[in-house]
């Protein structure tokens, strides 16, 4: 398949990243089919996509005249067979659970055209962990976006040893078509490039808080005050979503057997048990829509 043959994209998993990816593809002229394993999520997707587009228009990122045309390119499907019909590229965005991702790929391998390329937006799982389940390993790679995709416009392309070179070339061309900077990894690495650096940063922040070294707000102030950034590690964690953060910390707890990771996992779990998922729920380490770290006095001496 050449890039000009790629016309229809299927996005599976309609959380924050799935929605953003669907809109980004539609914005640049691709027909997009959206499907979620949870029918209720699918039902509410159209309204949430409209809200995001409204935010783009309000921020001056998208002319109002283009907004309707973009939304018209997106179709919500509730049956897997209908979602898979005539798809050229499948982008999987389900939660960071290996079994769940593998089941999605196995199911849609039976339904999608044999030439369709499959990719995963997994944050820390590597493509070789999922390649066999796709049934088309030569047409499979990781294709990892960053949030928000229209601002942090970098995509990590990570092949596994069985990925065909033509698949990598196609994905790099597709990334450029949707205004993303393709970063092609030469080998598999948990966390790709940026996330590998970010993971060390965020895990250190969580460890400092879970060990009681300093309060969450002061850890953020330390970073924001020295680096002059508008957000600190715990604000970033809220944006990622604490359910996703928990899955990642849980993964590294199991892999490393590090007791500090286990302690950090329980620290995050206490928030999840209280229903605090971060920005998506309106409450995580901070309360939204007006978190404390965005307030004028957050970094002031003698606050």
Residue spans of the domains in the chain: they are 3-184, 195-292
Q: Note the pLDDT of residue 55.
A: 83
Under 8 Å between Cβ of 121 and 149: no
pLDDT of 302 over the 70 cut: no
Mean pLDDT across 199-209: 96
pLDDT tens sequence across 122-131: 988 999 999 9
Using omega within 30 degrees of 0 as the cis cutoff, is the peptide bond preceding 289 cis? yes
Which pLDDT belongs to residue 6? 98
- pLDDT digit string (tens) for 103-113? 999 999 999 99
d(CA 280, CA 230): 19
Residue 145, CA distances (Å) to 178, 180, 181, 272 in order? 11, 9, 10, 24
pLDDT at 13: 96
pLDDT digits (tens, 9 = 90+) for 234-258: 999 999 899 989 988 998 898 888 9
Domain 3-184, CATH 3.40.50.720 — does that match? Answer: yes
pTM exceeds 0.95: no
Q: Which residue has the higher pLDDT, 208 or 60?
A: 208
Options 3.40.50.300, 1.20.58.1880, 1.10.580.10, 1.10.1040.10; which CATH number does 195-292 get? Answer: 1.10.1040.10
63-110 pLDDT per residue, tens: 888 888 899 999 999 999 999 999 999 999 998 889 999 999 999 999
Q: What average pLDDT does the chain have?
A: 94
The answer to whether the CB of 42 falls within 8 A of the CB of 35 is yes
Contact call for residues 124 and 152 (beta carbons, < 8 A):
no
The CA distance from 249 to 260, in Å, is 10
């Amino acid at each position: 398949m050449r890039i000009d043959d790629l016309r229809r994209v299927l996005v599976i998993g309609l959380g924050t990243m799935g929605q953003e990816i669907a809109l980004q593809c539609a914005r640049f002229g691709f027909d997009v089919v959206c499907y979620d394993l949870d029918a209720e999520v699918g039902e509410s997707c159209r309204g949430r996509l409209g809200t995001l587009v409204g935010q783009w228009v309000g921020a001056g990122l998208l002319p109002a005249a283009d907004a309707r045309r973009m939304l018209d390119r997106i179709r919500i499907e509730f049956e897997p067979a209908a979602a898979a019909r005539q798809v050229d590229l499948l982008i999987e965005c389900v939660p960071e659970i290996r079994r769940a991702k593998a089941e999605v790929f196995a199911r849609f391998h039976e339904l999608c055209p044999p030439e369709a390329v499959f990719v995963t937006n997994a944050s820390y799982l590597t493509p070789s962990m999922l390649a066999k389940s796709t049934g088309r390993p030569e047409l499979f790679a990781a294709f990892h976006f960053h949030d928000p995709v229209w601002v942090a416009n970098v995509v990590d392309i990570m092949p596994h040893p069985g990925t065909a070179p033509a698949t990598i070339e196609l994905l790099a061309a597709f990334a450029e078509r949707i205004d993303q900077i393709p970063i092609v990894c030469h080998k598999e690495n948990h966390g790709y490039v940026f996330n590998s650096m970010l993971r060390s940063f965020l895990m250190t922040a969580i460890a400092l808080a879970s060990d009681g070294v300093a309060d969450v707000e002061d850890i953020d102030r330390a970073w924001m005050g020295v680096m002059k950034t508008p957000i600190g590690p715990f604000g970033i964690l809220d944006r990622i979503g604490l359910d996703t953060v928990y899955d990642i910390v849980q993964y590294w707890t199991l892999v490393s057997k590090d007791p500090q990771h286990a302690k950090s996992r329980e620290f995050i779990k206490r928030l999840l048990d209280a229903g605090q998922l971060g920005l998506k729920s309106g409450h995580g380490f901070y309360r939204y829509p007006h978190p404390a770290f965005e307030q004028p006095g957050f970094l002031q001496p003698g606050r």
